[in-house]
Amino acid sequence: MDVVELREWAAWARGVLAASVRERVAVVMARGSPWRASDPGAVAEAEDALDRGVDVVEDVATAWFYRVAGLRLLAARGWTEISFAPDDADAALGAEAERRLLLARCRAWREVMPWVFEHEPGYVELLAPVGVLTPDGVWERLVVVLPESACRDVGVFGWLHQFYGAGRKDAVFAGFRRSEKASAADIAAVTQLFTPEWIARYLVQNSVGRAWLAGHPESRLARRMELYVPPPEAREDVRAVSCPQELTVLDPACGAGHLLLYAFELLHEIYEEAGYATPDIPGLILTHNLHGLEIDARVAAVASFSLTVTAWDRRPEASPSVAPRVRVLSSVSFSPEEVAELTAHSPDPVAEADLLTAFDDAASLGSLIRIDGEVTRRVRERLATRELDDGVRARVMRVLEQAKWVCSRYAVVVTNPPYMRSRHMTPVMSAYLRERYPSAKADLYSAFVGRCREFVSEGGLVAMITMHSWMFTGTYAPLRRELLANARIVTLAHLGVGAFAQIKGQVVQTAAFVLEVGEGLAERPGVFVRVTEYEGDVAKREALRRAAAGAAPELCFVRAGSVFARIPGSPIAYWLEPEVVEAYRSSRVVGDVARTAKGMDTGDNARFLRRWFEVSWSSTSLSGAREAARWFPYNKGGGARRWYGLREQVIDWAEDGAEVKAAQANTSRRARVANERLFFTEGFTWSTVSPGAFGARYTPGDAIFDNGGSTLFAEKETLWALGGLLNTRLSARLLEFLAPTINTQPGDVARLPVPETLPEIGAQVRECVAIAKADWDCYETSMDFQGSPLLSHEGSLAERVRAHLMDVEAWRARMRVLECEIEEAVSAAFDVPAPTQTGREPTLSSPDKKSVAADLVSFGVGCILGRYSLDVPGLVLADQGASVRDYLERVPDPSFAPAASAAVPLTAGLRGGNDLITRFEEFLAVAFGREQVAENLEFLASCLKVARVEDWFLGPAGGSRFYADHVRRYRNRPIYWLFSSGSGSFNALVPMHRYGPDTVAQVGGQLAQYRKAVQATHDPRLRGALTEIEAYRDEVLSPLRADPPIVDLHDGVRANYPKFGAALRKVTAL
């Protein structure tokens, strides 16, 4: 089964069915239609629904989507037949025959499966869509994307349900991004998430399976449960059950019943092992074991259908007569007068009124509703013989029935609870959680963590898959304290990012766990399995399987809850050794000896921030004229590199930040200048947002810092010691619970422990910074780039490349030694074991021959354009309007002169003495020896993986790998602009710093010369480009030449590049 195809089919089928129903509504509901006479009751019901504002089209289309899906699963099993030949002679007759066939099949199944094939409301059949069975219609396409092999797993119905509602879910989440709240009608749609099969198995095997093994140590079930994590002791130590019927299982937010389906499968094995007759087992499971609660009637119907089909799959000769116990919690309300009447003469009218009104919002609160069982019993007895209006009695009975459901206790609870942050909740839900779940009010899922413990009796098990934030963040500290006091974590699989294949990005980090409910369990250990570092669901599942089998002991940690309770905030930091926990508890913290701070928020980064290479070098403080400078280095994060680097941004801080401060004063902007007195102070900065690893980098005292580049400040020697401490694996392990999200805030770093005596690691830290800076400065995007590192070596170009790669590897090797020394010194200062460095690599660059060759080509082009020189280090022409005259003032007698024109041609087939490729060959001759040019060109081509170096510059289809590399290198802010005709027959490269009023004319002159050369050639391929060249000249260049765009480098590439429109090679990001 192709999940992508299934998703696409669901979206397509939704639209097709809705369109068909819409047409049907127009015909059937028309004045004088024959259906008004033949089926007046259904017509009247539809009219009433339309008058009440019901989306009848959506209702009917949705009902038939689920009917068609259900019929497909039945037909694939041979339990029903859907075969239809359309009547080509009479389309209307054929459509009616198709409709009758579908209605007949649905009616045939209604008695045994009323959930999907229900009759109510009656207009669902009256307005049934037509064309479902036509060739290439809804049914035929479903059969293709859902073959019989895929239908064997009835859980696929859950996927269809999720995909059908994906559009609505996306729309609601888009509203969340606009700070909108969910409506009560949205809650079910946006909180349902299909549980991956392997996670479902882990939860069920470690709860239902574990409970059975506790009472039956002789059982062979453990051998068949590949994700079952054995207890630390020799035998299972949770509460035992004596017979299968005692294994009652509840999913309080069951959705499509996926977890219940896996529970059914395991329970079937348990019943067989206990010696029950196979034909009786499905009915016994549905009768005694499985229970589900849900607020969405549609998905509850899917769950009931799926459980029934699963039971029949196990007992094909006869269907069990027991209906699945999947209950829908619906809203039931009474008027104030009715409540007063019902509670009259009650010994406790307040408590009984609370019960009667408890389900007012059940359609959104669901099984989170807490009920007093004793009050329920009393109301049932008191009102049993009282005369009541039929409508009132029906509602009272519904309340009592639902109260029974939410008051019942089970042996096991297993669930994937709904997720919704408090800021997105309806006011009713938010208020209810604040009142009833104060320790877990931040999210819907955390409220379920608290609620699920109440669904099991003492010694019962709760198995859940949730976000992992409850384990660490300060918001959930009260919830953790409650759990550690009233439950034990039996096993927990820390999954991290990527466990749900359908969810992309770093935000959703999860943990699956099983709790044993009861007091006095703090000293009993559980087993924690860490698979966070594995990428993707497949790798995580395999790692979890190996850990469960005992084949990966390095992934397993045995910890008792009392260990976590001793840590401030009680984080579930299972990976920390007891010695580290004790050190954390008893040590001072970073905040005691240093300052950690956020910087500013410009409120308008597009206006105030640039990459340093976008603006004139002389306008930056880096040029030495700080007093007159407009642009200053700006630390904004950007990754997890350690020790040094990621210095590319500059901020407009002219006149002490006058413009930014003016924006701060404008309340319509979100600008905020914070901690200004710490600007231009050396420290260690880190990326506030950095999924995965944490890395701190030395920042010299020349920079301002951003919210995204939080920084630590301290006295000199203390600063170096703390910088080393931040970059240890010990700190990284502590930050996993201090900063469990993708954000690492100053307060998180301030809570890192500091030993009483700081380790003497200043020399090692300084050397690490020096190595990281040397590595960073090898690249043009460094503010301190001096030139190609190959120029500092001797020998042939191949030998120079090899020598540079050896330098980098030597840096990496030395960095490994230094980081190990720092780690050992810090661990010794804390008196804890030094963690292994296995798998931890320096965050230096990892060049290879191709990247080094591309770097050299880029530097060579820079020399051709005058940005760099072979004779002096660093930048030469890097100011707006710079010219060759400026170059010669800096380099009076260059060994390799820059191009005289600001426009250097890059053309196919015909080359002159001033084209880019010829000039690059001359650069190689001057830099590395004229006699080695041919050899060096061949070597570069092999490194770049092209036949010839000119193919790097210009490919056969007009593409330029050089320019694509340039755009990537300069972070989608290219400083060399490629004027290019339609398919790249003509190109000219212009450095933006040399752009002037006559630059477009220079491009035109280069084009004229190339056109003349093409006209003189007999090559038909080149002559075929004349039309393109002339069109580019007349339609694109000529208007620009007449009115050249005005470029101001202060505005940045993003503002300037688009001014040239089709004249420049398209850069998608611009």
DSSP letter string over 63-79? HHHHHHHHHHHHHHTTS
* The dihedral sign for the CA sequence 312, 316, 320, 321: positive
Distances (CA, A) of 176 to 44, 190, 597, 812, 947: 38, 11, 30, 45, 52
Distances (CA, A) of 1042 to 282, 982, 1004: 84, 20, 11
**pLDDT of 1007 over the 60 cut:** yes
d(CA 482, CA 494): 20
The pLDDT score that the predictor gives to residue 89 is: 46
- The HSE-up count of residue 442 (CA atoms within 13 Å, CB side) is 13
The CB-based long-range contact list for 931-939 (8 Å cut-off, 24+ gap) reads: 932/796, 932/797, 935/796, 935/797, 936/796, 936/797, 939/796, 939/797, 939/798, 939/801
d(CA 183, CA 214): 44
> CB count, 10 Å around CB of 286?
22
d(CA 1030, CA 1036): 10
Helices (H) and strands (E) in the chain, counts: 47, 22
Q: What are the pLDDT digits (tens) for 41-99? A: 989 999 999 999 999 999 999 999 999 999 999 999 998 888 765 554 445 566 778 88
> How many degrees, rounded to 5, is the angle at CA 569 between CA 564 and CA 573?
40
Structure letter (DSSP) for residue 1064: B
End-to-end CA gap in the chain: 39
CA dihedral 302, 303, 308, 309 (to 10 degrees): 60
Answer whether 263's CB lies under 8 Å from 249's CB: yes
**Is the whole model's pTM more than 0.85, yes or no?**
no
d(CA 686, CA 946): 39
Tell me the one-letter amino acid at 814.
Answer: R
* The dihedral sign for the CA sequence 861, 866, 872, 874: negative
Residue 529: strand pairing partners = 493, 556
For the residues 179-203, what does the mean pLDDT come to? 78
Task: Quickly list DSSP for 374-410.
Answer: HHHHHHHHHHSSS---HHHHHHHHHHHHHHHHHH--E
Distances (CA, A) of 684 to 19, 644, 699, 741, 761: 60, 9, 6, 21, 15
d(CA 260, CA 262): 5
Least confident of 547-561, 657-671, 864-878, 1030-1044: 657-671
- If we measure between CA atoms, which residue out of 857, 853, 854, 847 comes closest to residue 811? 847
Least confident of 86-100, 264-278, 322-336: 86-100
Residue 413: strand pairing partners = 250, 462
d(CA 28, CA 43): 8
d(CA 618, CA 876): 11
User: Is beta strand 904-905 parallel, antiparallel or unpaired with respect to 696-699?
Assistant: unpaired
Least confident of 122-126, 441-445, 603-607, 753-757: 122-126
d(CA 615, CA 635): 17
Distances (CA, A) of 854 to 529, 944, 949, 952: 44, 7, 10, 9
Q: Which residue has the higher pLDDT, 719 or 603?
A: 719
d(CA 773, CA 697): 10
- The HSE-up count of residue 324 (CA atoms within 13 Å, CB side) is 32
d(CA 649, CA 664): 20
Strands of the sheet containing 976-980, edge to edge, are: 904-905, 987-991, 976-980
Both tokens assigned to 290: 């499985």
Structure letter (DSSP) for residue 1037: I
The pLDDT score that the predictor gives to residue 743 is: 85
Alpha carbon 970 to chain centroid, angstroms: 26
The pLDDT score that the predictor gives to residue 889 is: 95
d(CA 516, CA 898): 75
Task: Quickly list DSSP for 913-936.
Answer: TTSHHHHHHHHHHHHH-GGGHHHH
Residue 505 confidence class, pLDDT cut points 50, 70, 90: low
- If we measure between CA atoms, which residue out of 766, 784, 765 comes closest to residue 725? 765
Residues in the chain: 1070
Residue 1 confidence class, pLDDT cut points 50, 70, 90: low
Q: What are the pLDDT digits (tens) for 654-668? A: 999 999 988 888 755
> CB count, 10 Å around CB of 499?
26
Residue 234 confidence class, pLDDT cut points 50, 70, 90: low
The pLDDT score that the predictor gives to residue 666 is: 73
* The dihedral sign for the CA sequence 612, 613, 616, 621: positive
SS3 content of the chain, % helix, strand, coil (to 5): 50, 10, 35
Secondary structure string (H, E, C) spanning 402-454: HHHHHHCCEEEEEECCCCCEHHHCCHHHHHHHHHHCCCCCCEHHHHHHHHHHH
Answer whether 990's CB lies under 8 Å from 1006's CB: no
What average pLDDT does the chain have?
91
For the residues 939-951, what does the mean pLDDT come to? 96
Which contiguous run of DSSP H or E holds residue 635? strand 631-635
Q: What are the pLDDT digits (tens) for 1018-1050? A: 777 777 778 888 999 999 999 999 999 999 999
For 723-761, b where at least 16 C-beta lie within 10 A, e where not — what string?
bbbbbbbbbbbbbbbbbbbbebbbebbbbbbbbeebbeb
Tell me the one-letter amino acid at 667.
Answer: T
